[in-house]
Structures are given as C-alpha cells and as structure tokens.
Amino acid sequence: MSAVFAYVTAASTEEAQAIGRALVAERLAACVNILPGMHSIYHWQGAVETAEETVLVAKTRAELADTLAARVKELHSYDVPCVVILPISGGHPPFLRWIEDETAPVTPSNL
C-alpha cells in the first residue's frame, strides 16, 4: 500500500468541512485535517489577489488519488481548485495500515 496526502485549499471553513466530510464518508480518505486561517497571495486572471482560505489535508491510498481529486472538483466552489497529491515516504506502520483499512471498500467481511 502506498499512502499519500492530498493538500486542498477551500474558500471557507464550511466548504472545507463539507468536502472533508464527503471524502471520509465515501471512504476516499481515512481522515481529513482542516486548518483554517491561511492567507493566500496568488495570480488569478492577470492580477495579484489575496484571500483567506482553509487548508484540508486528506490521508488516503495512492490508488484513490485521482478519484479523490475528481470528487473534490465536483464539490468545490473554485473553477480551478488546488488539489495536490504528496507521497508519504514512511511513517508509523500501524497508522499507515489504518489509512489502508479506512479507505477500503465496505464489505460484509470488514463491517
């Protein structure tokens, strides 16, 4: 199993919570951490913009990364949401197994 982090920014804490709840409920992520209060400075449509945003960090399996990114796009208010997948090169083995277990499809054998 190859675990990854998905780094996502959202327009508000409420949007981040809605996205995070959907990702966990749909087993696309084992956990989502929500970090409000990020200050962003960026180029958008020819201008330098600033915004208050909220960061989501989702823990998932590498093979779910594309599906997770597509689901974020469906739920997100931005035309071009930030969804970046970062590999996890190591970690506490029981925690990494937990990510795998919690993102596995629900079947009668793992209920």
For the packed helices 65-75 and 13-25, what is the interaxial angle rounded to 10 degrees? 140
Compute the residue count for the chain: 111
| pLDDT single digits (tens) 12-60 | 999 999 999 999 999 999 999 999 999 999 999 999 999 999 999 999 9
Model pTM score: 0.91
Nearest alpha-carbon partner for 65 in 14, 99, 110, 107 = 99
CATH fold label, 3-110: Alpha-Beta Plaits (3.30.70)
How many whole angstroms separate alpha carbon 33 and alpha carbon 20? Answer: 8
Q: Residue 29's Cα: distance from chain center in Å?
A: 7
Domain ranges of the chain: 3-110
CB atoms within 10 A of CB 24: 18
| pLDDT single digits (tens) 53-107 | 999 999 999 999 999 999 999 999 999 999 999 999 999 999 999 999 999 776 5
